[in-house]
Amino acid sequence: MPIYEYRCESCGFQKEHLQKMSDGPIPACPSCGATQYKRLLSAAGFQLKGSGWYATDFKGGSGKAASPAPAETSKSDSTPSTGCGGSCACH
């Protein structure tokens, strides 16, 4: 459920409310009861966690995507390494 921020234009009271997306706006200010309690436009706050594409390509903030790392090979391994070595469908 998203968190919506509201501010009363009458008394200046401001509060965040956890609401369903299907819920309508809150009709009255919980502080003064005025009907000028308006939902504010605010940036969505979310955080990506884990080791997905964003961590390798965009997390560093350099502005350009990182190129894929070459496949690692060990001297004791006689079979050539192909693809990314992950569980993707590239090999």
Q: Do the beta carbons of residue 31 and residue 12 sit within 8 Å?
A: no
The residue assigned the tokens 């594409």 is 53
- pLDDT over 90 for what percent of the chain? 35
DSSP 23: S
pTM assigned to the model: 0.47
Is the pLDDT assigned to residue 61 strictly greater than 60? no
Is the pLDDT assigned to residue 74 strictly greater than 70? no
Q: Given pLDDT bands bounded at 50, 70 and 90, which one contains residue 86?
A: low
